[in-house]
Structure 1
Amino acid sequence: MVVSHFLKWVHTARVAQRAAAAAALADAYINRDLPFEDRCAAEAALTLLLDDPSYKVRLAMADRLSMSHYAPLQVINALASDQAEIAALVLSRSPLLSDADLIDRIASGSATIQAVIARRSSVSMSVSAAIAEVGEADACAELLANTGAAVASVSLRRIAERHGHVARVREAMLANPLLPPDCRHMLLVKLGEALRAAPLVVALIGHTRAERLTREACAKACITLVDGTRMEEHPALVEHLRLAGELTPSFLVRAVAHGKIDFLGSVLAALTGQGTARITSVLASGRDVAVVALLNSAGLPTPVHKPVLIALKIWREVANGKRVAGSQEVSWLMLRELGDPPVDDKLAGLIRSIHLDSLRENARCHALAIAAA
């Protein structure tokens, strides 16, 4: 009876009155205080109010119904398709919307709607996958910042592929401790591409030099990335670098010079197909003939063999406590092994640059230590 009076009155009431009445009716419905017949009538009235010409009435309904498990499903779905301000309330809160409903809204909605869904208190892997696949950069950034979102590794890779060039997305991804190492490398490459194409960088140093410097910077950063990668993740990172065409002899020389022997073992296992245990044994204590045979099997060019052998011997002594050395000393001895004049100028140039970088880094650390004393 109360609802019938409401329906007669609502056509003549002012907007503010209709909005307040709609909110009160929604409260009564979700609190389940009404008898069954009145509840059915209230549901019909709420459905009718979806056609109200004022968005304020629908906004009042959305505000009261959006967090309830007992709201009428047809009303929630209609409000979720309303104008952005109203839809945002429902899409960000309603527990009645299924993953399929949310995925539909992601596929057809604006960037604002996608970001609203990405900020929900709980986001399933399937919804995260939809955002990763079709979501705009802002939506992906919101998803990555949402601690209540379950994001699969494959979705992280897709976001890196699609939006890794966007600074906000890149920063959010790199802040994630669970980010797979191959994604981290992909983001390093994206950053290098962004720097290389930056108008200021090109204007200052030219396109050719910018390309060379960013390539070297990415290689150095990748060595640092190996440090933060767990042993069990090495095979995945190796495969990613192989597919990206970056598992080059020069990269492996750089890795050996910096003492990444465990990583070298994973690389050789991938390139030769031999067992990890055997390769580890050869690198740890094998004779030169066995190491050279392993390097040949991996397809590494002959000029690389001598510097790699001398580096392995030094790192073995370091590991056994017989010697104290770092990349500065190792790179110098690798360079000396190439002879004077060197047998390979390009390889000598690479090792020389590694040595100079190590000198610079050690000097910087020394200066900082003096300043801190």
Structure 2
Amino acid sequence: MSSESLLDLAKSRQPADRERLLLAIADLCDSPYAGEAMKGPAIQALLSSIFMSLVVEAERDIRHRLSEKLAAADWAPNALVNVLALDDIEIARPIISQSPVLKELDLIRLLVEATIEHQIEVARRPRLTHAVVSAILEQGEPAVLTALAGNPTAELTLSDMDELVEASRQIAALRTPLSQHPKLTGQLAKRLYLWVGLALRQGLADRFRLDVTVLDEALAASMNEAQNGVSTEAQPRTAREGEREVMEQRLIDKLHSAGQLRPGYLIRALREGRLGLFATSLAMLGRFDSNHVQATLDSDRPELLALACAAVGIDRSVFPDILEMTRKLNEGRPGGGAEGARKASVAFAPVTAEVAGAAFRQAARALSHI
């Protein structure tokens, strides 16, 4: 497209012309003549401004085409790439799977803020670094773990493989990709053998030359124990729950230290039914005493929870959903019913986050001494 044509499109306010301009600029930038010049700070700032102003008005199919055009571009503006990565999954998929612009922290942020579908695409991304692998393992989302197990290029250590094999005891979908994983060892294969079906057992035995007689005896003993009602699961399950809490705390610490712990994570934790993770994240974001947060959740004063949420940047319009989800997960607490919810809305008065935080600390401290 000629420079005159581009100027004509730039002057037009018609949506179709704006979208043509968006794609034309992407084509121009992606030409073999663009080179390293596209990566200069001044050009990057200009491109980011142009693209962001145009993409917000673009229809879904145009954003999809733009995503496909920019997926492999190393010159694409970082802000635009991150916006597209958080778009509908069909738009985000090419970006998440290919874009060289997405870095470790960008991918970890997607694991925290985006949908399960986005997280699965992150886990499938080629050559995942160990930091991203660790974040996936720490969250422990079954579908995302399964996608990771099917990614042979991810930087998985022996310890990571051990964690995935242990998880496959409860998550059946993990077993097939793990049985075929190039980093599976003979020792781990022996453990996996006890949990998989007949076809996979035969494959593991052939691949690692396992002594199936010994393993089948162990399998039979395990099944007999289960049939006789002798449960050995209670203690390991408790241990795994404790490990999950530790891993969640490590994830929150990592996200917070990297500046990636955001208010949106609180909503996601509640939607996934993880009240403890919500409480820990709220305490970290607001620099609150974790005991005060827990006492608030167990109280009959939802206005205190509202103050804490206002202090960390939660919008007034979102709080009713937070309160409803919290009550469902916490046996109706914080109580107060509809009247309590009405009082809670007052906490979002036009005051600064610092004032809301100070008010929460004072009230929660008094609540803890009741």
Normalising by the smaller structure, the TM-score range is: 0.3 to 0.5
Answer with 1 or 2: which has the greater Rg.
1
State TM-score, norm by structure 2: 0.46
